Structure 1
């Protein structure tokens, strides 16, 4: 049996290390990158397990102990990294890669396990009841970094007033070699408030966080209670292998979500964004040239294997629509380059909403409608069945005059979009289920191993 401070069930303790480096705090953001990468996946596990715990509490009033221990471990890990970095800068001791309590580390966090939680409160405490605290915590953590509370999701980071006070402490270290005690007490008071709210919004307690600023590394003296700790790592707990399974499962969730989400967007575009002729059309943009032509960058179309299921039909017909008084031509890049050689024009490249022009000096072109190399040409609008090769589109005034000013939109049939989107949705769903199954299996294995340890101990 061990003892834990009674009172509010979230206990945050820290000690200011003596002899802190004057300069190390400048590079701690870099040194902590391995922790940030792992925590990104562990926090996804936190979210998934919080959702599972939400329904468990709603159904039977209990937070599954194995999920509780994992989520507390993520909060502990995050708190140690924040204490090392810009949530406090109060230690130079590198944080351990551990979900455990790590009582020897200068920053510790303990949350008393609740034997019973309210089924009604779980519906409202993480969003409605905690709003006053979110406003305060938002002030502490600011807009650049934040605590996000959504369905049990709690992301701790430093910024805002916390980050500013830690920055002042770092500057004091740089010039004086000491961390002002008053700053330390103030920073720890804010950190403690954040962690209390994090535990409440993470469904770990029904006790409402106090509107009380408890400054300093130690909480106010209170009575102590007996608390049975969870089994240590390697004995029925969250061993490194089981934590790794959660991390891999989280990675699969992210991958599956991205793949499946892409497929869903594709299906939406296929059903809701086609015009009456079956084309998908881009937004219209304005283009201008002081020369005689607008030359759009080369488009490479390659599908070399005839046995590829999509083959030549994957893109279907493509087209360009411009103002009615301009000529549009599509040709092989080498033919277009030859035609426009020595012609005053603007070469156009686009990247998202950004349009870049590169002006070329020269003279006037030969009449565009008289050229025989165009694979598709017309006035105002042109369509063409896509083929393999390097292609370039050119826009000129129909009368060959100088100064081209027009709007332009591209369109394509993409008949393969539906098939490809369905496969992406299926593949993404499979990967999502696999990732979720891996995470939940790890939790089940931990729970069973703990029950086995308990039974062995009883015998």
Structure 2
């Protein structure tokens, strides 16, 4: 169902996105440079949306515990959505005004783009657990499918790269921009459509952010002003809401800084935990790689280790190999010059990276001496099953060689490489410590910011 909104209608859905009935006769040319003019807003919105995400988690916990959305957090998150809508209306979400958006979370009554959300007295605990990922899924699919349809349409006319970055709204705004450029007029129908899409997106955003239990309508309410009265929503008796919070620069800065500290702390603690769990038997082991050659050996490219702290950086290095057919296998590590001299004239494969197709095939004949009878190896092992060699990392140029022990042609083995990395546990401990401190400090900053905004509420 699609309808154009008339002025003076009564709002029904608790998330109200409003705009003038017509655009503000924007400039022909200014839209070409608005991408530069909105950079300060985009930088701030990155931080604000990070805080929005962190505070939404806090709100979820509060709803599960009390059934209420904390008013100060509610006002902050509404302010972030409001700020984003103003920037979108000015720039490439509509291009409908040349009046620069204000830098504030608060409502600006005389700005053409406005957004407000009715504060919910009570919220469902059960819905809070599923609405943002399950109940809102049909809306995600519809809005995502609309963007994908725009991509496919543009792909047929050779503009896939451009539209893939902008999506449906970006493509429609680009059309509006060219209409302004060549005619000086903004198509009214296109304006109504863009406002309707933004209204739908903001309704879904507010619902997914737990701001209302009222399910968003599957309806494209086009045009400016406010939503029409919808009898599908039962009337709710008006109840006094808690007073609005006062989000001045100080509380906003505290919450944003705290939210970023929380996000960074989560990243550091997760990384530290992964590093702690990574070692297996004291080694950090690579994925198993199957190597094969029609010749008599498989050798790596020379690995150059330089510096006085190689042993401290790598510790012990281990190479394991196991023939896939169960036959005996030889694995050895040698100086690159000695290995090249041994393999000179021997048919073998040189591995060049982990990607297939880059290996070098060296022609030649059978080796004159079996590998286990040669004294060039820094460390070697041979026999049935998995064979392993361990060496202490040291400066030099080194090659790993895998061969059948009987010197026959045809090599196929599963190989992995590992290192003890002595610095890993201290680094993991440092990351965990810093991460926990950031989590605690960030949580404290968020709490202080919310408390300060709440204390600033008019009594």
Same topology, TM > 0.5:
yes
* 2:84 is equivalent to residue 78 of structure 1: yes
Alpha-carbon shift at residue 71 of structure 1 (Å): 0.5
Contact 1:346/1:359 (<8 A) preserved: yes
Aligned match of 2:331? 328
Instruction: Give distance in 2, aligned partners of 1:101 and 1:338.
Output: 78
Question: Of 86, 90, 96, which residue of structure 1 is paired with 2:96?
Answer: 90
Alpha-carbon shift at residue 329 of structure 1 (Å): 3.1
Contact 1:290/1:402 (<8 A) preserved: no
Report the RMSD for the aligned CA atoms in angstroms. Answer: 4.4
Contact 1:245/1:442 (<8 A) preserved: yes
Aligned match of 2:377? 374
TM-score (norm 2): 0.73
Alpha-carbon shift at residue 121 of structure 1 (Å): 4.7
Aligned match of 1:282? 286
Alpha-carbon shift at residue 95 of structure 1 (Å): 4.1
* 2:263 is equivalent to residue 263 of structure 1: no
Aligned match of 1:9? 14
Tell me the alpha carbon deviations over residues 230-258 of structure 1, each in whole angstroms, 9 at most, x when there is no partner: 57xxxx5231x433333332332232222
Contact 2:31/2:177 (<8 A) preserved: no
1:33-52 equivalent positions in 2, closer than 5 A: 34-52=40-58
1:122-161 equivalent positions in 2, closer than 5 A: 122-142=128-148, 160-161=167-168
Contact 1:344/1:359 (<8 A) preserved: no
Question: Of 350, 356, 361, which residue of structure 1 is paired with 2:353?
Answer: 350
Contact 2:334/2:378 (<8 A) preserved: yes
Tell me the alpha carbon deviations over residues 339-362 of structure 1, each in whole angstroms, 9 at most, x when there is no partner: 7789887653436xx356264878
* 2:247 is equivalent to residue 237 of structure 1: yes
Contact 2:332/2:401 (<8 A) preserved: yes
Instruction: Give distance in 1, aligned partners of 2:276 and 2:65.
Output: 36
Instruction: Give distance in 2, aligned partners of 1:355 and 1:176.
Output: 56
TM-score (norm 1): 0.73
User: Which secondary structure does the structure 1 equivalent of 2:377 belong to?
Assistant: coil
* 2:33 is equivalent to residue 66 of structure 1: no
Instruction: Give distance in 2, aligned partners of 1:403 and 1:98.
Output: 74
Instruction: Give distance in 1, aligned partners of 2:273 and 2:15.
Output: 42
Task: List alignment gaps of at least 5 residues for structure 2.
Answer: 1-7, 152-164, 230-237
Task: List alignment gaps of at least 5 residues for structure 1.
Answer: 146-157, 306-310
Contact 1:284/1:407 (<8 A) preserved: no
User: Which secondary structure does the structure 1 equivalent of 2:206 belong to?
Assistant: helix
Alignment CA distance shift 1:312-1:219 (3 Å): closer
Alpha-carbon shift at residue 300 of structure 1 (Å): 3.3
User: Which secondary structure does the structure 2 equivalent of 1:98 belong to?
Assistant: coil
Runs of 4+ in 1 over 6 A off after TM superposition: 225-229, 337-345, 360-366, 399-404
User: Which secondary structure does the structure 1 equivalent of 2:116 belong to?
Assistant: strand
Alignment CA distance shift 1:46-1:369 (3 Å): same
Tell me the alpha carbon deviations over residues 104-161 of structure 1, each in whole angstroms, 9 at most, x when there is no partner: 444221223334445555445445544444443444455999xxxxxxxxxxxx9654
Instruction: Give distance in 2, aligned partners of 1:414 and 1:143.
Output: 51
Alpha-carbon shift at residue 31 of structure 1 (Å): 5.8
Instruction: Give distance in 2, aligned partners of 1:249 and 1:303.
Output: 41
* 2:202 is equivalent to residue 198 of structure 1: no
Instruction: Give distance in 1, aligned partners of 2:100 and 2:341.
Output: 63
Alpha-carbon shift at residue 57 of structure 1 (Å): 3.1
Contact 2:318/2:418 (<8 A) preserved: yes
